[in-house]
Amino acid sequence: MALFQRKRRNILPGFGLSMGYTVFYLSAIVIVPLSMIFFNTIPMGWEPFVHAVTAPRVLASYTLSFYTAFFAALFDAFAGLLTAWVLVRYRFPGKQFLDALVDLPFALPTAVAGICFATLYSPVGWLGQLLAPLNLQIINTPTGIIIALIFIGFPFVVRTIQPVLEEMEQEIEEAAHCLGATRWQTFTKILLPHLFPALLTGVTLAFARGIGEYGSVIFIAGNLPMKTEIAPLMIMSKLDQFDYAGASAVALVLLCISFSMLLLLNAVQEWQQKEYRS
């Protein structure tokens, strides 16, 4: 009986070999490079570390990165859900082009996106000229940072929601409509509970990406100390000053926050799956 159970557990061959390769590649690509941040930070000691990560200029960069990434992720939640709905539920000319356009922020170098936004919203840019008479400034403001982060995080939301929508059958919505449910009731009671885990995943990924975004932001932010200076820029500034320990300390804080968010996301998704099964 024990032999039979052991064979059932090992019904898929090659687990040991594939698991070994998985651990090796994850260690070589992820764990070992990220561990260098810890090794560069440990020699600092506790007091210099706290001083480095709690300096007023560093705290201001944390605040700016977090709240701009948060508002950008909220906007991506709405825009990404709507875009995924259109791509899945409707057929129209140019659909494949629009679907490919969603992935453009993945393929486009972020510095190119930053230059485009800076040119577009500058006082002599196409949109900047229209906003200048209204005393609205986008470049060198947190608003410009949010616009850049919306562009970067948008594909994460669309690509996490789209497969879930494709698996949902439209007959469920038609049945709810036949039973007298309104469109809003169908969305909130039937569609949203199924879409919420994917939506939460996409928003969290967009938020985490926004915290660490650099290339598309520096050109439109203006990098004004205590105003439009993001946390990744603080890391680059410390590296330019050969303060490798200070740069590693700031990077360690961002790494811990991003990784904690991903762990929390996985825990929430697992809890939701258990609730759904029960």
| In-domain check, residue 26 | no
- Averaged pLDDT for residues 20-29: 83
Q: Which residues contact 211 (CB under 8 A, 6 or more apart)?
A: 65, 66, 69, 231, 254, 257, 258
The answer to whether residue 7 sits within a structural domain is: no
Mean pLDDT for the stretch of residues 165-173? 79
Whether 152 has a pLDDT exceeding 60, the answer reads: yes
Tell me if 6 is assigned to some domain: no
- Please indicate, yes or no, if residue 251 is contained in any of the structural domains: yes
pLDDT of residue 221: 84
Q: Mean per-residue pLDDT for 22-33?
A: 82
pLDDT in the model for residue 74: 93
The pLDDT confidence band at residue 1, using thresholds 50, 70 and 90, is very low
SS3 (DSSP) at 13: coil
**Quick one: 72 exposed, middle or buried, by C-beta within 10 A (0-12, 13-18, 19+)?**
buried
pLDDT on residue 119: 87
Average pLDDT over residues 171-200: 79
pTM of the model: 0.83
Secondary element (H or E) of residue 84 = helix 56-89
E strand or H helix at 128, and its extent? helix 126-131
Query: Domain for residue 20, yes or no?
Result: no
Residue 16 within any structural domain of the chain? no
Q: How many domains does the chain have?
A: 1
CATH code for the domain of 202: 1.10.3720.10
Phi-psi region at 14: left, alpha or beta (left = phi > 0; alpha = psi -120 to 50): left
Give yes or no for residue 165 having a pLDDT over 60: yes
Is the pLDDT at 62 greater than 70, yes or no?
yes
Q: Is 27 part of any domain? A: no
Considering 78-82, 127-131, 225-229, the range whose residues carry the highest mean pLDDT is 78-82
pLDDT (mean) for 214-241: 85
Average pLDDT rounded to a whole number, residues 171-180: 75
User: pLDDT tens for residues 90-131?
Assistant: 888 888 898 888 988 888 888 888 888 888 888 888 888 888
Evaluate if residue 72 carries a pLDDT over 90: yes
Give the confidence band of 160 by pLDDT, cuts at 50, 70, 90: very high
Identify residue 191 by its one-letter amino acid code: L
pLDDT at 235 over 80: yes
Mean pLDDT confidence for 32-58:
84
In a domain, 38, yes or no: no
* Statement: residue 213 has pLDDT above 80: yes
| pLDDT tier at 193, thresholds 50, 70, 90 | confident
* Angle at 230 (CA atoms; ends 217, 40), nearest 5 degrees: 115
Identify the pLDDT of residue 3.
46
| Domain housing 188 | 45-277
